[in-house]
């Protein structure tokens, strides 16, 4: 199945046709296009019922997330092509940002390497490929989605603008929002912003990757980062460290950094926003996280992510 989100930022009719022809040269291909939110999950589940070997997704990270959730614990594998504005997961897998160029690499990988079983994070029953965010970054994503039409034309600039605007006007930076309870019994009583990583980098700003953890990978348990100070100096320092690839911020007193996390619970002091793989999912008062090993068959040209 060639699963396409025609509304994704970098998907054009020409790109779709070129990629479909390339895939069809040596494979039987059925085209499926999404028309609404969560449609990719339904299409992926249909591919499982119809015994498809592979679902190739051309879309953004949100479409990829939906498709992955439809393929959990199935024999049908997932393959990724960059079709969105940031393409975090595709780039993490080592694919270029150009979807046609990425198709050539994908076809070569399919010839040489079988799919690999990888682990994913799960929050309240929703699996995620690369990260889930709670608090500030989810509020930023919510602001970006309010301006969805601009995303196709000014994606990275829009995210920077939304981050500044959210910090100034749309998020309470003074009061802690939630607590984190880990499975070992330890509690982080106050947090204003937290990230749960399944892979690294966290995201990309243009060509720059924001790397937060050397411990995150598709064959490793989760990494949690909890932040309790959103002052401008602290946030700029964190972003600067991430761009440089420095992990010095792990030792900051206002940050709790934990690798190898199998499960934890987030309890809100009040309702808080959260996002999964860059998709805003609304406000909640609690979340349950867990790591699910070997639940998705994935075509990946980057063996470092899965310990090969």
For residue 98, tell me if it sits in a domain: yes
Range of the domain at 288: 128-293
Question: At 236, which CATH number?
Answer: 2.60.200.40
Residue 174 is given by DSSP the state S
Question: Is residue 242 assigned to a domain?
Answer: yes
Residues 169 and 211 in one domain: yes
Show which of 112, 136, 169 is a domain's final residue: 112
Choose one of 82, 112, 142: the last residue of a domain.
Answer: 112
pLDDT at 198: 98
* The pLDDT value given to residue 207: 86
Q: What is the pLDDT of residue 151?
A: 58
Q: What pLDDT sits at residue 48?
A: 98
**Would residue 254 count as lying in a domain?**
yes
Question: Quick one: which H or E segment has residue 182?
Answer: strand 178-182
- Report H helices in 119-259: 136-146, 148-165, 232-244
- Is residue 176 located within the same domain as residue 90? no
How many other C-beta atoms lie within 10 A of the C-beta of residue 142?
A: 20
Question: Among 102, 126, 142, 89, which residue's Cα sits nearest to residue 19?
Answer: 102
d(CA 145, CA 278): 10
What pLDDT is attached to residue 160? Answer: 77
* Domain identity same for 169 and 222: yes
Whether 80 contacts 68, CB under 8 Å? no
- Is position 239 within any domain? yes
User: Is position 185 within any domain?
Assistant: yes
164 and 275 belong to one structural domain: yes
* 120 located within any domain: no
CA 191 remoteness from chain centre = 21
Provide the pLDDT for residue 303.
60
Asked whether residue 171 falls in the same domain as residue 264, the answer is: yes
Same domain as 167, residue 78? no
Regarding whether 162 and 221 lie in a shared domain, the answer is: yes
Q: Is residue 260 part of a domain?
A: yes
Q: Nearest to residue 81, comparing CAs of 140, 22, 38? A: 22
pLDDT at residue number 235:
85
Q: Are 133 and 100 in the same domain?
A: no
Residues 156, 54 within the same domain: no
Give the chain's domain count.
Answer: 2
Question: What's the confidence (pLDDT) of residue 144?
Answer: 84
Q: What is the pLDDT of residue 237?
A: 85
Instruction: For residue 121, tell me if it sits in a domain.
Output: no
| Rounded Cα gap, residues 209 and 74, in angstroms | 32
Same domain as 142, residue 107: no
Considering the domain architecture, whether residues 151 and 250 belong to the same structural domain is answered as yes
Last residue of a domain, one of 77, 112, 147: 112
pLDDT means per 10 residues, the chain with 308 residues, are 94 96 96 96 98 97 97 98 94 95 96 94 98 94 76 64 79 91 96 97 90 94 96 86 87 94 97 96 98 97 60
Are 138 and 89 in a shared domain? no
Q: Whole-model pTM above 0.85? A: yes
Kindly report the CATH number assigned to the domain that includes residue 52. Answer: 3.40.50.10330
């Amino acid at each position: 199945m060639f699963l396409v989100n025609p509304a994704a930022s970098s998907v054009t009719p020409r790109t779709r046709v070129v990629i479909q022809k390339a895939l069809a040269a040596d494979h039987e291909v059925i085209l499926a296009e999404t028309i609404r939110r969560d449609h990719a999950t339904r299409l992926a589940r249909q591919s499982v019922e119809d015994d498809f070997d592979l679902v190739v997704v051309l879309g953004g990270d949100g479409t990829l997330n939906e498709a992955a959730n439809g393929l959990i614990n199935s024999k049908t594998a997932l393959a990724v092509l960059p079709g969105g504005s940031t393409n975090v997961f595709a780039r993490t897998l080592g694919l270029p940002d150009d979807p046609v160029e990425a198709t050539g690499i994908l076809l070569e990988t399919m010839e040489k390497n079988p799919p690999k079983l990888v682990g994913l994070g799960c929050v309240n029953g929703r699996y995620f490929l690369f990260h889930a965010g709670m608090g500030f970054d989810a509020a930023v994503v919510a602001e970006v989605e309010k301006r969805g039409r601009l995303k196709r034309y000014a994606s990275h600039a829009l995210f920077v603008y939304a981050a500044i605007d959210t910090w100034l006007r749309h998020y309470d930076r003074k009061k802690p929002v939630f607590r984190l309870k880990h499975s070992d019994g330890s509690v982080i009583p106050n947090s204003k912003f937290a990230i749960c990583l399944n892979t690294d980098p966290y995201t990309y700003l243009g060509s720059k990757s924001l790397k937060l953890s050397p411990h995150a990978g598709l064959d490793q348990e989760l990494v949690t980062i909890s932040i309790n100070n959103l002052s401008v100096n602290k946030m700029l320092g964190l972003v600067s460290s991430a761009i440089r690839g420095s992990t010095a911020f792990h030792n900051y007193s206002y940050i709790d950094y934990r690798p190898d996390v199998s499960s934890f619970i987030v309890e809100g002091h009040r309702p808080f926003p959260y996002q999964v793989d860059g998709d805003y999912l609304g406000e909640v008062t609690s979340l349950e996280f867990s790591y699910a090993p070997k639940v998705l068959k994935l075509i990946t040209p980057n063996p470092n992510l899965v310990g090969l």
